[in-house]
Amino acid sequence: EQRQDELYRFAQAKGDNVQCGMTSRVMLQARKLALLWACSAWDCEAGTRPVVTTDAAQWALTVVAHLMKRTMAMFARNSRTSLDFERRADKLLAYITKSGGTVAHRPLANFMKLPKREFGALIETLTDRGTMEVGVANAGKVGRVGKTYSIPKPE
């Protein structure tokens, strides 16, 4: 428990509210688990109260630390995925801007080098956000009709 208190004070000194919250939650969960251990070993017939032993506290801290590491690993994996997506979005928008504000489908797809599904998801998300627009090239003209991507002009 002293170690957790030190971690909490360190996070508080840094102004890291997320770490403070996580440390508080770890301690609360560990106390609950240690109390469950104590209650499971308690003999209510003897007329005593449950006692949290050192073994119960160590076990509870070990379980909660393991669960917290798994949670943090999942969080890191998911946040990394979001960061990758945003990095790709920035790369795509920079290419469109560098190309004069509008670019055809094939050059953009070749530049991004993404699988079709990922490219489509990126385009759909940016379109839904209003960050870019999808248009049609050669509409009403002879020849092949294709998609264009552009950054909308500010109103």
Q: Which of 70-79, 97-106, 121-130, 137-146 has the lowest mean pLDDT?
A: 137-146
Q: What is the pLDDT of residue 143?
A: 67
Q: Mean pLDDT in the chain? A: 85
CA dihedral 36, 40, 46, 47 (to 10 degrees): 20
What's the pLDDT score for residue 45? 67
**Beta partners for 147?**
136
Torsion of CA 26, 32, 33, 35, to 10 degrees: 140
Reported in sequence order, the residue ranges of the chain that DSSP labels E, i.e. its strands, are: 102-104, 133-137, 146-150
Contacts of 12 (CB under 8 A, 6+ apart): 20
- For the stretch 73-94, pLDDT in tens is 777 776 666 778 889 999 999 9
What is the tens place of the pLDDT at every residue in 127-138? 998 999 999 887
Q: Which helix (H) or strand (E) holds 153?
A: none
Q: For 44-64, how does the pLDDT look when each residue is reduced to its tens digit (9 = 90+)?
A: 767 778 888 889 988 998 899
Residue 15: pLDDT above 90? Answer: no
